[in-house]
Amino acid sequence: MSAQSRDISRRRFVASAGLAATAVCLVPHRLFGDEQSLVVAARKAGETANITVQALRRNVSALIGSGGNIAVLPGGDGKLIIDAGFAGTRGKIDAALTKLSSDPIKHLVNTHWHFDHTDGNEWMHSAGATITAHENTRKHLSVSTRVEDWNFTFPASPAGAIPTDVFNADKTLRLNGATIALKYYGSAHTDGDISAYFSEADVLHTGDTWWNGHFPFIDYSTGGSLDGMIKAAEANLARVTEKTIVIPGHGPVGGKSEMIEYRDVLTTIRDRVAALKREGKSLNEIVAAKPTAAYDAKWAGGFVNGEFFTKLVYKGVG
Ligand SMILES: [Zn+2]
């Protein structure tokens, strides 16, 4: 091994350790090479992640660090949890939940079917949770499902992990003295995305329709689309005020100004890639033109790097 390649390996190690430490959890494709699916790498990184608990408003807290961000509302009706994180972090999630209150876990909502939001379904169900989700989320979890862009086929989930309380357009929960509005986006990041809005607290969990400071993944294999992602970003903006606290699917808790920035990043890169495609440039030429370059330093540090995002956008523009 040359000094140079040793240095590169070391830097790679430091980069992945750093990601785990900052609880980004989802690890760039390039760190692991193409032979290992990003799903395997992300689950592995998730196991070493730390869980941070952030108190928001009116008893609603966010748990950051195990795959998709989790929201929790404890109370006499039992804990309501939005998204279940990785199964490998069960011990850490359970410890964080117990610290919040001694109420049992009674209600789990999945914002969509992806593994980093539903791997914990089975243990939360066995702890007492009824699982609520959009009907397409149940559909994908019930059967073997392949995601081409992750090069991974998920087996059907075990019976206990499959949502039993499903809906199509919207549903309102009244629990622990709070009103929680669940709303379907239509095709966005997948074909089953929903938001959860804690009305009195004015706290919105967007699922993976918002990635705060990270390029988003778009799951074309299960009905996601670029136009749908941008439409969802606009819909999220239309329903929040300066005061709304917003929990993204990935990245830190934020609000309206960060959501505007995210929407602008998506539309700017879409317009650039669309213009290059209209000029007749090939995918390789467009990737080489680095249409995300101005944003990479801030936005490419998570699960989707600039090249991967360019490829996802290319698929979605006419
Ligand atoms: Zn997702």
Q: Is the per-residue pLDDT at 90 higher than 50? A: yes
pLDDT of residue 16: 35
Please state at what angle helix 306-316 crosses helix 256-278, rounded to 10 degrees: 70
Centre of ligand 1 from the C-alpha of residue 301, in Å: 16
Radius of gyration over every alpha carbon of the chain, rounded to an integer in angstroms: 19
In one letter, which amino acid is 69? N
Centre of ligand 1 from the C-alpha of residue 10, in Å: 30
Q: Are strands 105-109 and 130-134 parallel, antiparallel or unpaired?
A: parallel
- Rounded Cα gap, residues 164 and 69, in angstroms: 22
- Rounded Cα gap, residues 45 and 159, in angstroms: 26
pLDDT of residue 301: 87
Q: Is the per-residue pLDDT at 148 higher than 70? A: yes
Centre of ligand 1 from the C-alpha of residue 280, in Å: 31
Centre of ligand 1 from the C-alpha of residue 208, in Å: 5
Mean pLDDT confidence for 210-233: 98
Q: Is the per-residue pLDDT at 9 higher than 60? A: no
Centre of ligand 1 from the C-alpha of residue 109, in Å: 14
- Rounded Cα gap, residues 167 and 248, in angstroms: 22
CA distances 133 to 60, 165, 300, 310, 318, Å, are 20, 7, 30, 30, 31
Centre of ligand 1 from the C-alpha of residue 111, in Å: 9
Mean pLDDT confidence for 93-111: 97
Query: 3-state DSSP call for residue 158?
Result: coil
Residues flanking ion ligand 1, Cβ below 5 Å: 114, 208
Q: For 232-281, how does the pLDDT look when each residue is reduced to its tens digit (9 = 90+)? A: 999 999 999 999 999 999 999 999 999 999 999 999 999 999 999 999 99
User: Per-residue confidence at 13, pLDDT binned at 50, 70, 90?
Assistant: very low
Q: For 27-61, how does the pLDDT look when each residue is reduced to its tens digit (9 = 90+)? A: 444 444 445 788 998 999 888 889 999 999 999 99
pLDDT of residue 66: 83
pLDDT of residue 303: 86
pLDDT of residue 35: 52
Q: Is the per-residue pLDDT at 6 higher than 70? A: no
pLDDT of residue 10: 34
Bridge-partner residues for 105, per DSSP? 79
Centre of ligand 1 from the C-alpha of residue 36, in Å: 19
Centre of ligand 1 from the C-alpha of residue 8, in Å: 30
Q: For 180-200, how does the pLDDT look when each residue is reduced to its tens digit (9 = 90+)? A: 999 999 999 999 999 999 999
Centre of ligand 1 from the C-alpha of residue 56, in Å: 23
Centre of ligand 1 from the C-alpha of residue 107, in Å: 20
Give the pair of three-digit tokens for residue 166: 């499903």
Centre of ligand 1 from the C-alpha of residue 112, in Å: 7
pLDDT of residue 11: 35
- Rounded Cα gap, residues 249 and 209, in angstroms: 7
- Rounded Cα gap, residues 188 and 302, in angstroms: 20
- Are the C-beta atoms of residues 93 and 120 closer than 8 Å to each other? yes
pTM summary value: 0.89
Centre of ligand 1 from the C-alpha of residue 38, in Å: 13
